[in-house]
């Protein structure tokens, strides 16, 4: 479930280009700034309902720190996720680091990171699956598959997060 929510954290954003502080990344164009700014709406506090349910509720706090958006998650598997637009990729990247120090990297080249499929990039051959996101009516929904740590079965998940 950590993978599910961690990746979901990366997506808690709405395309609002004008609100974000601009990135100071080298070589960023005006178009890059617009794409980077779409991550602004993920700032604030989000509460998630997961299926299957976690023991502890997931609460995600997001903010911009320099050239990255940072989401800190509490719950069953605490983690920190860094998200940004990458000029050379012409897409978004998110790097989730969990409490044990392991990391997972997902990317999407969609121009709308909130209605996109994010694909796992690292670690290679890890058994991670793509995650689909949909944003409507102020609610972000993530869905996909994950491998259960205990049973090793591939199961479906859904996470629904709202601000507040």
Tell me what the mean pLDDT of segment 27-45 comes to.
91
pTM check: above 0.85: no
pLDDT above 70 coverage of the chain, percent: 88
Asked whether the beta carbons of 2 and 56 are under 8 A apart, the reply is no
Residues 95-129: tens digit of each pLDDT: 999 999 999 999 999 999 889 999 999 999 888 99
Q: Where are the beta strands (DSSP E) in 12-153?
A: 44-51, 58-65, 68-73, 79-86, 91-98, 103-108, 117-122, 131-136, 139-147
- How many domains, in total, are found in the chain? 1
Assigned token pair, 101: 């120090």
Question: In the 8-state DSSP scheme, what is residue 29?
Answer: -
Residues spanned by the domain of 84: 2-163
Tell me what the mean pLDDT of segment 72-89 comes to.
93
> According to the model, what pLDDT value does residue 20 have?
54
């Amino acid at each position: 479930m950590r993978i599910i929510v961690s990746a979901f954290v990366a997506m808690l954003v709405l395309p609002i280009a004008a609100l974000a502080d601009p990135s100071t990344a080298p070589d960023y164009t005006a178009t890059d700034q617009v794409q980077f700014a779409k991550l602004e709406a993920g700032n604030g506090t989000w509460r998630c309902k997961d299926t299957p349910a976690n023991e502890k509720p997931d609460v995600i706090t997001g903010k911009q720190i320099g050239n990255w958006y940072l989401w800190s998650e509490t719950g069953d598997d605490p983690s920190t996720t860094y998200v940004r637009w990458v000029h050379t990729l012409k897409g978004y990247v998110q790097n989730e680091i969990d409490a044990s120090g392991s990391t997972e990297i997902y990317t999407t080249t969609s121009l709308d990171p909130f209605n996109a499929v994010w694909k796992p990039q690292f670690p290679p051959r890890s058994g991670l699956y793509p995650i689909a996101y949909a944003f409507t009516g102020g609610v972000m929904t993530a869905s996909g598959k994950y491998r259960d740590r205990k049973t090793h079965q591939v199961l479906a998940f859904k996470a629904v997060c709202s601000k507040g």
